[in-house]
């Protein structure tokens, strides 16, 4: 892998900045004691199933688990404590799944920070590299392999994502148009995970109404679609800041179309929404 092509998400960069400001610089600094102190979280080891309490900022870890499993569990529960609010028993199944996925993503960034990982000399064979990463960062090998696959996929998608570099253009007067009641949503899936898409492509025949919010249902499955080079034309990327979660419409998110038009103009006929942006909007 050419690690120079890897790009960090805002969440990943925030974790890195937090570590650097507290002199957490090498893998040996990533102890449960040191990190819990840095994030002001209380940790207890008991003979119970691991869990966390968001309101009290407390994490309880099963003391009977292996040390590498405890380490992985701690970072997962830390993600819940720092990023989520509310009782999971009282939210929809979709949002529960989103929070679990978000905590898992947080744990990958926090337990195996890229700025530490990139300093290692790793073999080309991914499974062999995962064994080394697991030992250095004291996490299970399968967790280390997941992080390496995440990095590989991020590098592979770098060219695709950087195609969406736009400059703001002036809004143009457009002729009246009609739209279909519901947008068409398809998913772009990675080769390693066909259970859910990594990006949603949203189209609305007849054009978008840029002066009105667009509601899309995300609680469902999506047909797969291939992304071709010409898919980048007349397209716009939806950021997490463009999204709102309407309390009155469970399973839906609202896209602020005026914000998108202010960046890209009103010529886009496709919107690209990454699942990571969607999860960030749901969890904040």
> For 70-92, what is the mean pLDDT?
80
What local confidence, expressed as pLDDT, does residue 145 receive?
Answer: 95
Which residue has 């993600």 as its token pair? 79
> For 99-104, what is the mean pLDDT?
81
Residue 11: pLDDT over 60? yes
Residue scoring higher pLDDT (247 or 202) = 202
With pLDDT > 90 as the criterion, what percentage of the chain qualifies?
Answer: 41
What local confidence, expressed as pLDDT, does residue 219 receive?
Answer: 67
Assign 249 a pLDDT band (cuts: 50, 70, 90): confident
Least confident of 39-48, 92-101, 214-223: 92-101
For the chain, the structural domain boundaries read: 3-156, 184-282
Residue 70: pLDDT over 50? yes
Assign 225 a pLDDT band (cuts: 50, 70, 90): low
Least confident of 82-91, 200-209, 267-276: 82-91
What is d(CA 118, CA 116) in angstroms, rounded to the nearest whole number?
Answer: 6
Q: What's the token pair of residue 3?
A: 């690690």
Residue scoring higher pLDDT (7 or 56) = 56
Residue 92: pLDDT over 60? no
Long-range contacts of 258-262 (CB under 8 A, 24+ apart): 258/210, 258/211, 260/210, 260/236, 261/171, 261/210, 262/168, 262/171
| 145-204 pLDDT tens trace | 999 988 887 777 654 444 433 332 333 333 333 344 678 888 877 655 556 677 888 998
| 36-62 pLDDT tens trace | 999 999 999 999 999 988 888 999 999
What local confidence, expressed as pLDDT, does residue 136 receive?
Answer: 98
What local confidence, expressed as pLDDT, does residue 199 receive?
Answer: 81
What local confidence, expressed as pLDDT, does residue 18 receive?
Answer: 93
What local confidence, expressed as pLDDT, does residue 158 receive?
Answer: 55
What local confidence, expressed as pLDDT, does residue 112 receive?
Answer: 97
What local confidence, expressed as pLDDT, does residue 190 receive?
Answer: 61
Q: Are 242 and 259 in contact (CB under 8 A)?
A: yes
Average pLDDT over the chain, rounded to whole? 81
What local confidence, expressed as pLDDT, does residue 93 receive?
Answer: 58
Q: What's the token pair of residue 64?
A: 């009977």
């Amino acid at each position: 892998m050419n690690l120079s092509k890897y790009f960090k998400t805002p969440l990943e960069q925030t974790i890195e900045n937090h570590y650097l400001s507290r002199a957490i610089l090498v893998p040996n600094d990533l102890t449960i004691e040191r990190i819990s102190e840095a994030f002001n979280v209380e940790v207890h080891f008991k003979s119970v199933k691991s869990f966390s309490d968001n309101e009290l900022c407390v994490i309880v870890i099963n003391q009977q688990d292996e040390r590498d499993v405890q380490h992985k569990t701690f970072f997962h529960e830390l993600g819940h404590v720092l990023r989520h609010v509310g009782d999971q028993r009282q939210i929809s199944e979709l949002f529960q799944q989103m929070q679990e996925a978000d905590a898992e993503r947080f744990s990958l960034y926090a337990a195996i920070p890229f700025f530490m990982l990139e300093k290692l000399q790793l073999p080309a064979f991914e499974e062999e590299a995962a064994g080394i990463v697991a030992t250095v960062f004291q996490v299970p090998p399968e967790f280390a392999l997941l992080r390496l696959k995440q990095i590989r996929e991020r590098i592979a998608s770098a060219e695709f994502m950087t195609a969406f570099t736009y400059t703001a253009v002036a809004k143009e007067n457009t002729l009246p148009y009609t739209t279909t009641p519901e947008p068409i949503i398809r998913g772009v899936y990675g080769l390693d995970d066909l259970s859910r898409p990594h990006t949603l492509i949203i189209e609305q025949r007849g054009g978008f109404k840029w002066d009105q919010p667009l509601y899309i249902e995300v609680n469902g499955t999506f047909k797969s679609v291939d992304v071709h080079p010409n898919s980048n034309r007349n397209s716009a990327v939806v950021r997490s800041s463009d999204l709102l979660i309407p309390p009155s419409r469970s399973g839906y998110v609202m896209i602020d179309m005026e914000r998108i038009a202010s960046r890209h103009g009103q010529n886009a006929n496709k919107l690209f929404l990454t699942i990571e942006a969607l999860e960030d909007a749901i969890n904040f």
